[in-house]
Amino acid sequence: KAGVTQTPRYLIKTRGQQVTLSCSPISGHRSVSWYQQTPGQGLQFLFEYFSETQRNKGNFPGRFSGRQFSNSRSEMNVSTLELGDSALYLCASSSLTGGADTQYFGPGTRLTVL
């Protein structure tokens, strides 16, 4: 099976702009989670989607949003970009077969805000 894919891999934006990142989960996986990784804060959970619904959300401002499509693909959007939003954004998918639902991560999108 193909792994989790994320596009684009690299992105440069300026303050005030908005950005949309895309994630395609492993085939058959219905849950998609997003994480932000920065040198200062490490890896932090953003939100999780399942069946096109956001089920869980981390402690991030409303500028961070997302959605999931019927084919389980997901996008996240960051509006009014700030310098501190520069980070590696990671998407992970899991199959939700019950018990320990392992999350598998994509390669990430490196966002730089100038």
Partner 1 sequence: DAKTTQPPSMDCAEGRAANLPCNHSTISGNEYVYWYRQIHSQGPQYIIHGLKNNETNEMASLIITEDRKSSTLILPHATLRDTAVYYCIVSRYSGGSNYKLTFGKGTLLTVNP
Catalog residues that contact partner 1 under the rule CB under 8 A: 4, 31, 33, 35, 42-45, 48, 50, 55-56, 58, 88, 90, 92, 94, 96, 99-108, 110
Q: Are 91 and 22 in contact (CB under 8 A)?
A: no
CB neighbour list of residue 74: distance below 8 Å, 6 or more residues apart: 22, 23, 25, 32, 34, 49, 66, 67, 68, 91
Nearer to partner 1, 18 or 97 (CB): 97
Nearer to partner 1, 11 or 79 (CB): 11
Least Cβ distance, residue 99 to partner 1 (angstroms): 6
